[in-house]
A and B are shown apart, each in its own frame.
Chain A
Amino acid sequence: MKLAWLRSLETSHQDCVWACTWLPATDKSSGLLLTGSLDETVKLWNPDDLSLVRTNTGHCLGVVSVAAHPSGKIAASASMDSFVRVFDVESNNTIATLEAPPSEVWQMQFDPRGTTLAVAGGSSASVKLWDTAEWKLIATLSIPRPEGSKPSDKGNNKKFVLSVAWSPSGRQLACGSMDGSISVFDVQRAKFLHHLEGHTMPVRSLAYSPLDPRVLVSGSDDERIHMYDAEGKTLFSSMSGHSSWVLSVDVSPDGAAVASGSSDRTVKLWDPKMRAAVQTMTNHTDQVWGVKFEGGARGSLLASVSDDKSISLYNYS
């Protein structure tokens, strides 16, 4: 279990890079890396040499998240002005512009089969599900208000939804909130299942293990990475080691390792068996907002993006 630094691109964007994801390879192109930045652009990169494939403009205010359709043909990017732009990867034609006021847009993820796009809806305390065929809003998964609280309660604000993740089967969906709670939903029945407690500060990133649909990994501002049994409502382990917020987590394709990016400017590789970080990469000079394993054929690449405007690639083995 090891990360080996491959290459970095210093000024990939003109400003902080806030989001990254891998586009699966298609028959026409190999896998690409997709990044979004405060400079209001979305860029596509060839991972082999980190050469720029294209720059997409059109967003106002910073791009906060990017999502790739499993087909690799479609991708979505979202910015702080709460618009989601769905575009064709090859032609950069806008397929749809999604908006569900008054809810904002934070993290997004396509479901594993590619039929639904889940969008974390911020202050609406809900996750919006969009149908990918007609680009219509098909469901709103709301986090139930805690008992006894009035709708006017300012406390409601705490359920502000930041992050979202689909289970590998696509049946379950988890979302993380500002107050540190994680909510698990049954998607088919559009039903809230339960909360996973343990974090006490915003949960900015969630990831299911690709092998074990029960294992959910979360990263939070409380500097910890938790591993939950999402079904059994138990906390396997709480791993501390970052010295500031954990901004992003991802599970390796073999399910054996967890990567994390943090405000402490490091990327760490964790061995859940040891409950400890086995490696710390210090090549970034500012907050690391995104880490992502390539889940496809190559399966051994990890990308990280940071406020220092750079992108880094590592070989995972």
Chain B
Amino acid sequence: MASVYIPVQNSEEEVRVALDQLPRDATDILDILKAEQAPLDLWLIIAREYFKQGKIEQFRQILEEGSSPEIDEYYADVRYERIAILNALGAYYSYLGKIETKQREKEEHFILATQYYNKASRIDMHEPSTWVGKGNLDGLFCHQIILLSAVPLIIIVESRVKCESFLKGQLLLAKGDVDQAFAAFKIVLDGDRDNIPALLGQACVEFNRGKYSSSLEMYKRVLQVYPRCPAAVRLGIGLCRYKLGQFERAKQAFERVLQASNLDPENVEALVALGIVDLQSNEASGIRGATEKMLRAFDVYPYCATALNYLANHFFFTGQHFLVEQLTETALAATTHGSTRAHSYYNLARSYHSKGDYEKAGLYYMASVKEVAKPQEFILPFYGLGQVQLKLGDFKSSLSNFEKVLEVYPENCETLKAVAHIYLHLNQTTKAHDALRKAIRIDPRDPEAFLDLGELLISTDSAGALDAFKTARNLLKKANEEVSIEILNNIGVLHFERGEFELAEQTFMEALGDGIWLKLIDSGPQSDSTGGSHSDPIRRALYQPIDANLAARMYKDMQLFHNLEKDGIVVELPWDKITTLSNLARLFEQLHKTETASILYRLILFKFPEYVDAYLRLAAIAKARNNVPLSIELIRDALEVDDKNPDALCMLGDLELKNDDWVKAKDTFRAAREASNGKDSYATLCLGNWNYFAAVRSEKRAPKLEATHLEKAKELYTKVLVERPANMYAANGAGVVLAEKGQFDIAKELFTQVQEAASGSVFVQMPDVWINLAHVHFAQGNFALAIKMYQNCLRKFYYNTDNQILLYLARTHYEAEQWQDCKKTLLKAIHLAPSNYTLRFDTGVALQKFSASTLQKTKRTVDEVTNAITFVVFRVRATVAELKNAVRLFSQLSAASNLQFHGFDEKKIETHVGYCKHLLEAAKVHCDAAELEDQQNRHRLELARQAAIREEESRLAEEQKKVKLEKRKQEDELKKVMQQEQHLERIKEHWKSSSGSKRKDRAQGEDEDGAQGGERRRRKSNKKRKRDKKAESHMDDQEENEEDNTNTNYYEPEDQVNDQVDDDDDDPQDLLAAAGLEDSDADDNAAPASNTGRRIRGWSESDDDEPEKRQPSSSPVRENSVDMQVSDGE
């Protein structure tokens, strides 16, 4: 065994001290050393031995004694050993500082270390080892934790003189002053390029600066120079290789640390590092290996925070939260290293997070975040914190945390999705959209991102949403994951919204899967349709004939399901399928498979009687079928479930309006509004409508009441619009009120916008706005446009079945004087609504008006264009026929009025009949005249024709004469030639020429005769015309008056008073005035009846009255008209 010999002062003797038998109490040996004034290197050797034996206290005692002031004084000239002692102490305190976990003590140790180094350097400024130590110490704070312990270990173990000087460089490193440390080590290396500690220090510095390859070079050189170097060097190599991504070689290096017998089989750092490398492999075996190594490291040294953290992490995943907490708490106690602590806090937070303790999790995440200097280093706690804050509803903080995550990982899908989610909550849809789009771009295989995107787009971009959902579905299917019913439901609804009904149906069916509904929906062929002997009990129950008297109440019938249950069939409906089933039923409604829809709704109600929507849909079906009582009953059922359901209340109010129950309806609408705290715009809208109807409803209009109601309606519409600027119905209502007030241009603008907005979705059907627009065109005299608009509306929304719009159309034709169109339109309307007598009356009026105007025009035509007479006659005849039709219509009405089928006053109808008959008589005269004219015309034509023939004849005769003359000339010549020879022929020649002239005279006479005859006749016809004019002038008066009347009275009662005053003396005129009054009555009768009929479009009907009032041509001021009406009423 090694021993040292302490020379005894002033003698040749030596005291032998066996190094393995050093006294327990260092004071003994110190006494000897002091007494004998032993050389300082002996002190150092003994101290080192103590250290080796783990007797740290003694080691310290000796060194401290060895560096005390007396010793300094005594050994003042022994510089090198003194420095060595100080350096050893410095190194010792550096080591203490390094392993100390408490910050304060740690600092104290470092301060002490620094003091020793400084003292050492004061002894000799040029001793390089001091600088090395200083440099290395600086690195302690910032170096990788594993290396931290490695370097001082080297120093302690390697207690050679040179190595001690290296410790000074360490100090600089420890203070984080990498550059200075670098400089310090460089000084050493410049002196001795193979100075191992300096090389190590420099390697450490390079490592810290991220120059892993040069760090690696340094370590390698250490290994070359000093092959027996401690394991820490290999550890450094391993770390560098690890950082450089050479995992396999890093692993080899770490393994070497553990394997080599001369090295350190229980090197914790190596174990941990190996574990981490194993983890890197990301394989199950690797992870298992890693866990084993970590556990070993834990056994060896239970305070290695990294190992603790790793183990905590491991137990987190195995779900042993108790262990997680213990381990992390130990780790936290064991280290002050920021990022390690951050990891520990993170583990702890994660543990609480997974247990659902968000408050605590949040606190620990927060602690973790605080430990992290730069988010780049450790981002996970930010993410966790974001998640917890999101969970706790703190969107803003959550967002900022997620954004930090995104700064580091701008392409992290999960974070992008989370951020999108928050944006959505904060109503920043564009940003949400961007985030999701990015997430999808980065990972086009993430169904969740697509789902989120779908949800986001659902209200704004149905096509985009549909695509997103579909992609999500496909991705899920590809991954063999179950596609949830919600996704399918959403896809179905989107298809539905886009009008792709077949796809929608398929999707809903897929979502619903198997169940009783399949049988209820399916309608495959059966063996027997009416016999009721179906083999399948469901079929049998479905096909049970029902008592026709109960058929009307079918939508409340649950017997079907009771019967099924009686037959032992389980009627089941899982709760999560209600929504989809209800959607499917709604789809069937759209497809007009209404009966199937009703069965499905009833199935829902059978199992879930509190599902209000199903009641309401059934009520809507009943209402569409005009079954108001049943509809009301169903709504009452719904209200029994929830008596504050605003939808049910609104519907009820609507039905009450239909039943003409005004006061009740108003109360119901009010209740609906209160039930929803005024937030349900539909209830407000309904009240607005109610007020509007109330304003225009009464036959005797009270201007004050009307104005208040209108004002109220406007107020309510405006209120809705303020809350929801995109509410088309409110905009439409506002437009109507504006139109009512005569502001047609603004109203038109509004209607046009609403019309544009309303096109696009199957769920938004707004024929009203078309009608209103048409009304405005009409009121502005734009008849052609109005007609087009009415026609389009009819075709687009009503399959041409709405007689009310046909009436508007007819009225427009009437104003545009398109009598035939007017008549045809009215006839079509009658055909559609045979029991609507108002239409018949209107037809009569139209025919009457048509006849009158035709007769008037006829007269003019006769005067102006004589050669169109035949046409005129035709027209007059047609007119007479129409008049006869009118008479017949009115007579029928008159007869019907006896049976009180309709509300017309018999007298007034008779007035019309009287007038028509009167017209008919006038027309008869007119007709006769026209016919006479026609005859004459024909005669004249005949004469003309004859004259033409005669002319032709005379022309022919002339030609003949010419020919004859020619002939004669030739003959003359011939004669001249033959004269001399044929004297006897001359007498004969003479006779021939005289007979030719006679003939010519006669032809002239005839011509004259013809011309005279024509003139005579013309004169005669003139006389006739004069006589006609007398009759016509009489007609004229009547027609003009009549025209005024039909024009004004038919729809504008206000002018009628004037007429009466003007034409007091005119008998038929009075009658007509009365008849005209009737017209307006008839219209009023028609309006309210249908007003109540429609929910939102009601005002369009009442609008009908409105343009009539304000005909641009004839009505002066509104006030006037009202006054007149009042006087009229009186």
Contacts and interface: CB of A to CB of B under 8 A. Distances in A.
B897 to A, nearest CB: 9
Interface in B480-528: 523-526, 528
A273 B799 contact: no
A62 B828 CA distance: 8
A223 B801 contact: no
A200 B595 CA distance: 14
A38 B824 contact: yes
Interface string A10-45: 000001101000000000000000000010000000
A30 B889 CA distance: 38
Interface stretch (B130-138, B539-547, B710-718, B927-935): B539-547
Interface string A220-245: 01111011110011111111111111
Given A60-B884, A245-B799, A228 B529 contact: no
A197 B548 contact: yes
Contacts of B546: 234-235
Interface string A200-230: 1100000000000001000001111011110
Contact of A80 (B592, B622, B831): B831
B594 A62 contact: no
A263 B800 contact: yes
Nearest to B894: A102
A245 B801 contact: yes
Nearest to A182: B548
B125 to A, nearest CB: 104
A90 B835 CA distance: 35
Contacts of B591: 241
A80 B595 contact: no
Given A104-B892, A238-B595, A244-B799, A233 B547 contact: yes
B18 interface: no
A198 B627 CA distance: 10
Contacts of A18: 831
Contacts of A156: 901
B1073 interface: no
Interface in B781-840: 798-801, 824, 827-828, 830-831, 834-835
Interface in A230-271: 232-245, 263-265, 271
A297 interface: no
Nearest to A60: B885
Contacts of A274: 523-526, 529
B551 A60 contact: no
A252 B896 CA distance: 38
A198 B525 contact: no
Contacts of A106: 834
A123 B626 contact: no
Interface string A253-296: 00000000001110000011111100000000011000000000
B593 A273 contact: no
B900 A287 contact: no
A197 B549 contact: yes
A257 to B, nearest CB: 12
A311 interface: no
B625 interface: yes
A60 B549 CA distance: 40
A187 interface: no
B634 to A, nearest CB: 14
Contacts of A222: 624-626
Interface residues on B, range: 35 or more
B548 A81 contact: no
A200 B892 contact: no
Main secondary structure of the interface of A (DSSP, over half): loop
Interface string A89-110: 0000000000001101010000
Nearest to A262: B799
Interface in B575-607: 591-596
Contacts of B408: none
A124 B1101 CA distance: 29
A101 B548 contact: no
Given A104-B834, A274-B526, A263 B801 contact: yes
A173 interface: no
B552 interface: yes
B545 A239 contact: no
A101 B526 contact: no
Contacts of B479: none
B78 interface: no
A157 B545 contact: no
Contact of B827 (A38, A234, A240, A286): A38
Highest count of chain B CB atoms <10 Å: which of A80, A151, A224, A286 = A80
A215 B799 CA distance: 30
B529 A198 contact: no
A234 B531 CA distance: 13
Nearest to B623: A200
A190 interface: no
A81 B888 contact: yes
Given A180-B626, A234-B545, A240-B595, A200 B824 contact: no
Contact of B892 (A101, A243, A275): A101
B764 to A, nearest CB: 17
Interface in B956-988: none
Contacts of A234: 545-548
Contact of A236 (B530, B625, B898): B530
A196 interface: yes
A62 B525 contact: no
A307 B595 CA distance: 28
A273 B551 CA distance: 19
Contacts of B624: 222
Interface in B98-125: none
A64 B552 contact: no
A123 B899 contact: yes
A162 interface: yes
A229 B828 contact: no
A157 B837 CA distance: 10
B727 to A, nearest CB: 27
A149 interface: no
Contacts of A263: 799-801
Contacts of A151: 900
A239 B801 contact: no
Interface string A37-66: 010000000000000000000001110100
Interface of A: 15-16, 18, 38, 60-62, 64, 80-82, 101-102, 104, 106, 122-124, 151-152, 154, 156-158, 160, 162, 178, 180, 195-198, 200-201, 215, 221-224, 226-229, 232-245, 263-265, 271-276, 286-287, 307
5 contacts: A62-B831, A180-B626, A233-B549, A235-B548, A240-B595
Given A102-B895, A241-B592, 6 more contacts: A81-B888, A101-B892, A122-B834, A157-B835, A233-B549, A243-B799
Interface of B: 523-526, 528-530, 543, 545-552, 554, 591-596, 622, 624-627, 798-801, 824, 827-828, 830-831, 834-835, 843, 881, 884-885, 888-889, 892, 895-896, 898-902
7 interchain residue pairs of minimum CB distance? A198-B551, A102-B895, A273-B529, A244-B799, A234-B545, A263-B799, A160-B835
